[in-house]
Structure 1
Amino acid sequence: MLVELATFSDRLFVAAAGIYALAMIFHAVEFAAGRAKVPVLVGAAEADDAPAGEPVRNRPERFGRMAVALTVLGAALQLASIATRGIAAERWPMGNMYEFIAAICLAAVVTWLVVLRRSPVVRPAGPFVLFPVLVLMALAGSVLYAPAGPVVPPLRSYWMSIHVSTISISSGLLIFSGVASLLFLLRRSGWLDPVAEKLPAADALDRLAYRVTIVAFPLFTFAIITGAIWAEAAWGRFWGWDPKETVAFVSWVIYAAYLHARATAGWRTGRAAWVNVAGFATIIFNLFFINMVVAGLHSYAGVG
């Protein structure tokens, strides 16, 4: 039964990735056609089959709405995949890189859906948000895949559900924030004008990156603190400058600098965005290079 449930979880993961890919294509169709126009009220002369006073949406906007609906479906499938994985493994489902990345991707997608709910105007950024999610999921489902099963003794602690969950959620948020800052810099620079001019307004992207980081930074701080507490219980010390701990601390300093820069005159826009991109780079570096190349106390698990 548990083996069948683990297989079902894997299939849900693949299905979620396929749905995200289709959503990205629909977002790309909307993006290629230009920014969706605000629905206008039309009369009988403009739409014979639409009652007067009802909004008529153009085709690109319909693709954008379908993309959002598909993203919601993909997120539901991915959540089900993570839940069934945990039941099959009989533990918290974040004990290896495959599960860790799945949680990060879900956090990024849910963040995107929440942002769309509050600010639909940023929907043209959809292809750029879903693309890194698909890349991460492709890596997780191939070279980083691990069968459902028990974890090594140091990970058999209630701290795993606390620390790894918060580091996953905050990492997903920070990846989303980093993408927003990259798009802001692209929009502001005017480089690749045919593409940049179809992105949301630079101010909207900048505010989006800042607001998401405001939410993510306390979570990231809490994750580092709980990681230190767990390290003391597992290894007898709160902090040992392990490679993963060191890079996480560097990330924390960079994001603290970003939030400070956003409140400093002269750094509020372009310069602050570059600081945020630097933080984004350290998150990706820690996620892959430190976990997969550098040997350390975290190497056995591949998680924070």
Structure 2
Amino acid sequence: MPAEVDPGLATLSDQLILATVLLYVFAMIGYALDLAFGRPRARARAEAVPALAAVGGGAAPESASGTDASEGDARRTAPSAWALWAGPAGVVLSWLGWAANLGSILTRGLAVDRWPWGNMYEFVVAMCLAAVSAFLFMQLRYRIRFLGAFVMVTAALGLGFAVRYLHVQAGPVVPALNSYWVAIHVSAAIIASGLFIVAGVSGVLYLVRKDTAVRLPSRQDLERVAHRAIVIGFPIWTFAVIAGALWADKAWGRYWGWDPKEIWAFITWIAYAAYLHARATAGWKGRAAMIVQLVAFACLLFNLVGVNIFLGGLHSYAEVPG
């Protein structure tokens, strides 16, 4: 390990990543139990709608036997006490995992005294944090806890992939990455990618969801979450592309050089722009819109991971282990 690296902080960072994976997995289990054994979403939504039959009078009162039967059905379908706590426990574990994920990034950066996303391992770790952050902070405003199990398993798998196949020892980076543009360009790309991951998870779930799956979120809810995430993430990705061009001019003396990373970043931008344009002008919604945004999501994943692994270019300094 290079002399300028703090081995204690580097080791702590690796340990925090393992703790993050475990916490995300336990959070996923909590969300899954909430979906499987909690109150079905269709029934909860129906109970939330106020009864309108009595408006204007004329509503016939229920018979005593009918009332007793309804109460008996409610008791039989009511979730167990432990099931009611599974969802909130998943939220708490998600925040604990988020804190551990953030701690691993901070300790990695302090260990090497630089911005902690100078290689593919560090970038994927930060991207998983951004995806969980997008979900948790959107959950504070919107009721999207139903998406927790799917976001958590995606983050856990992403971190597992990073630890297993992308991990490199903490160390210095090439001179091209010792720039304040890392904090501008790469940070924007990470934040936008996290939002796009939430949209991508919603899109996949939308396509595989069966009409009879009453415990899963409705397709309308999934489409709404995906659209909101993309509406927020698209301008951030646009800024990341522009910042990358400005950094390229400063580093290499040109704004655009047909480098594979530049090309696929622009293709990704076009794909998400096509999704937003189709919804705004042609009125595309539902399955067609979800397919378009999943194509854009595939472009994003290839740009973030595939280009660095399979293609060369000026961005091939990402230190992917051989």
TM-score normalised to the size of structure 1? 0.87
User: 1:100-179 residue pairs with structure 2 within 5 A?
Assistant: 100-120=123-143, 122-179=144-201
Residues 173, 198 of structure 1: CA spacing in aligned structure 2 closer, same or farther, 3 A cutoff? Answer: same
Q: 2:232 is matched by which residue type in structure 1?
A: V
- Structure 1 residues 132-154: Cα deviation after superposition (integer angstroms, max 9, x where no partner): 21111011112101111111011
| Cα distance in 1 between the residues matched to 2:267 and 2:96 | 36
Match of 1:27 in 2: 31
User: 1:52-91 residue pairs with structure 2 within 5 A?
Assistant: 58-91=81-114
| Secondary structure of the corresponding residue to residue 248 of structure 2 | helix
Q: 1:287 is matched by which residue type in structure 2?
A: L
User: 1:260-271 residue pairs with structure 2 within 5 A?
Assistant: 260-271=277-288
Q: Which runs of 4+ in 1 moved over 4 A?
A: 34-40
| Cα distance in 1 between the residues matched to 2:191 and 2:249 | 23
Give the drift of 1:57: 7.6
Match of 1:250 in 2: 267
Instruction: Give the one of 239, 243, 247 matched to 1:230.
Output: 247
| Secondary structure of the corresponding residue to residue 165 of structure 2 | coil
Q: How many residues align?
A: 282
Is the contact made by 2:275 and 2:289 (CA closer than 8 Å) also made in structure 1? yes
Q: 1:197 is matched by which residue type in structure 2?
A: V
Is the contact made by 1:9 and 1:84 (CA closer than 8 Å) also made in structure 2? yes
| Aligned alpha-carbon RMSD (Å) | 2.1
Is the contact made by 2:168 and 2:319 (CA closer than 8 Å) also made in structure 1? no
In structure 1, the gaps of 5 or more residues are 41-55
- Structure 1 residues 201-233: Cα deviation after superposition (integer angstroms, max 9, x where no partner): 211111111111111001000000111111111
Match of 1:2 in 2: 6
| Secondary structure of the corresponding residue to residue 300 of structure 1 | coil
Q: 2:156 is matched by which residue type in structure 1?
A: L
Is the contact made by 1:35 and 1:124 (CA closer than 8 Å) also made in structure 2? no
User: 1:283-298 residue pairs with structure 2 within 5 A?
Assistant: 283-298=300-315
| Cα distance in 2 between the residues matched to 1:244 and 1:202 | 34
Q: 1:144 is matched by which residue type in structure 2?
A: L
Instruction: Give the one of 5, 15, 20 matched to 1:16.
Output: 20
Is the contact made by 1:175 and 1:283 (CA closer than 8 Å) also made in structure 2? no
Is the contact made by 2:38 and 2:84 (CA closer than 8 Å) also made in structure 1? no
Q: Which has the higher contact order (CA 8 A, sep 6+)?
A: 2
| Cα distance in 1 between the residues matched to 2:17 and 2:107 | 10
- Structure 1 residues 248-273: Cα deviation after superposition (integer angstroms, max 9, x where no partner): 11110010011111113441222111
Is the contact made by 1:36 and 1:58 (CA closer than 8 Å) also made in structure 2? no
In structure 2, the gaps of 5 or more residues are 48-78
Rg comparison, structure with higher value: 2
Match of 2:64 in 1: none
Whether 1:99 and 2:122 are equivalent positions in the alignment is: yes
| Cα distance in 1 between the residues matched to 2:228 and 2:32 | 25
Q: 1:271 is matched by which residue type in structure 2?
A: A
| Cα distance in 2 between the residues matched to 1:173 and 1:302 | 25
| Cα distance in 1 between the residues matched to 2:40 and 2:135 | 18
Match of 1:184 in 2: 206
| Cα distance in 2 between the residues matched to 1:101 and 1:126 | 19
Give the drift of 1:35: 4.3
| Cα distance in 2 between the residues matched to 1:15 and 1:153 | 32
Q: 2:218 is matched by which residue type in structure 1?
A: A
| Cα distance in 1 between the residues matched to 2:273 and 2:28 | 32
- Structure 1 residues 30-50: Cα deviation after superposition (integer angstroms, max 9, x where no partner): 22225457599xxxxxxxxxx
Is the contact made by 1:33 and 1:60 (CA closer than 8 Å) also made in structure 2? yes
